[in-house]
Amino acid sequence: MSFEEMLPYGWQGELPAEYAQTPWQVCRVSAEQRGLYELLTPQGAVSAQPSGALRHRGVLREDFPVVGDFVLADLSQGEAVIQAVLPRRTCLSRAQAYGTGRRGAVQLLAANFDTVLVAQALDGEISLNRLERYLAMTRQSGAQGVIVLTKADTAPYDDLLAQCAQLYPDTPALAVSARTGFGMDALSQWFAPGQTLVLTGPSGAGKSTLVNALSGAQVMKTGDVREADAQGRHTTTHRELLTLPTGAMVIDTPGIRALSLADAENEADELFADIAALAAQCRFSDCRHENEPGCAVRQALQDGTLDARRWKSYRDMLRQMGHQTARADLSFSRDRSRQGKERSRTARQNQRNKYGH
């Protein structure tokens, strides 16, 4: 097999020494849905499943392939089998915060990209706080961030560009319009052959529209924004890696409901710090505070140190969040049940299962 064959797919690395003699093929994960993967191979796109061994070894979410990953796969049988995930050069992830005060799993969003485009639409309200959170996530990824103010045909952008330049001198910022083509030339400097980009930003920011404009085709479905508040409708539902005519690859992502979830969870943590502290004392790390032995929350409710109404409003808050995020979290929990393993579940997920809907 030839590693050069994978160069068009953004492959930059050397194969780690431990795989020097591998009979498996380097492939790139282009999509993932419910534990099923699509791989780009020199022979075209194939669907794949992780090997039993990979599933068995995989304990954390980050042990499993994510869109953008380079993997070693056995293509000799009928369905491709992913045998190993190669080391990631960059990785976009979201730490999941839990209302119980524990830190849990990390959710991976994409891997092995050179640039993160942070899209913010000019037609709605621009929140610098939100922008800052996307940029923080980008910094952690290890890749270069670029602020892309979209829908430049709808509103003035000079002031905002100046503000961005002042606040984030190391992060290029530009305004574009997929509709009129304005700014698209300037944007193309990040789309050289072999480059991989991730598009991130809120739902309705015009990420998929941008991908279509860059592709010169309707490769991604796009959706209206709500008239009232210019919020998107979460049209893109899973992450997908696409090859552009320029020879660059781009990972389109769903608008991150999850980011606002993390915000809400942090808020819950702060508002209910007392409950978080109690939950940390439960005997079981995944205590649902129902009738598990050694439950510090139940104990506190019993002896009156925790007010029952306060406990109820905490649960109500979780229920509301669970409702908002049930869809976003579905694929995550499905992936896990597919793996057929009930790994130590987080308190928050239990809370969601219990109180969601």
Ligand X SMILES: Nc1nc2c(ncn2[C@@H]2O[C@H](COP(=O)(O)OP(=O)(O)OP(=O)(O)O)[C@@H](O)[C@H]2O)c(=O)[nH]1
Binding segment toward ligand X, per CB under 6 A, in 62-70, 233-241, 296-304, 335-343:
233-241
Residues 163 and 147 sit within 8 Å (Cβ to Cβ)? no
**With the C-alpha atoms ordered 51, 53, 56, 60, is the resulting torsion angle positive or negative?**
negative
Which of residues 171, 203, 260, 346 is near ligand X by CB under 6 A?
203
Count other Cβ atoms within 10 Å, centred on residue 88: 21
Binding segment toward ligand X, per CB under 6 A, in 56-64, 101-109, 228-236, 276-284:
228-236
Binding segment toward ligand X, per CB under 6 A, in 34-42, 217-225, 239-247, 259-267:
217-225
Count other Cβ atoms within 10 Å, centred on residue 57: 12
Residues 29 and 211 sit within 8 Å (Cβ to Cβ)? no
Q: Judged by CB, which is closer to Zn ion: 104, or 124?
A: 104
Q: Does 232 bind ligand X (CB under 6 A)?
A: yes
Using CB under 6 A as the binding rule, the residues of this chain from 103 to 162 that contact ligand X are 150-151, 153-154
Q: Does 150 bind Mg ion (CB under 5 A)?
A: no
Kindly calculate the radius of gyration of the chain based on its CA atoms and give it in whole angstroms: 22
Which of residues 222, 243, 246, 320 is near ligand X by CB under 6 A?
222
Using CB under 5 A as the binding rule, the residues of this chain from 265 to 304 that contact Zn ion are 282, 287, 289, 295, 297
| Distance in Å, CB of 310 to Zn ion, minimum | 15
297 binds, among ligand X, Zn ion, Mg ion, none (CB under 5 to 8 A by kind): Zn ion
Which of residues 255, 268, 298, 321 is near ligand X by CB under 6 A?
255
Q: At what angle do helices 128-141 and 158-167 cross, to 10 degrees?
A: 50
Beta-bridged to residue 82, according to DSSP, are 50, 73
At 195, list the tokens.
Answer: 């480059």
282 binds, among Mg ion, Zn ion, ligand X, none (CB under 5 to 8 A by kind): Zn ion
Residues 26 and 86 sit within 8 Å (Cβ to Cβ)? yes
Q: Does 178 bind ligand X (CB under 6 A)?
A: yes
Q: At what angle do helices 347-355 and 308-338 cross, to 10 degrees?
A: 100
Which of residues 236, 325, 346, 349 is near ligand X by CB under 6 A?
236
Count other Cβ atoms within 10 Å, centred on residue 37: 25
Binding region for ligand X (CB under 6 A): 150-151, 153-154, 177-179, 203-209, 222-225, 232-236, 254-255
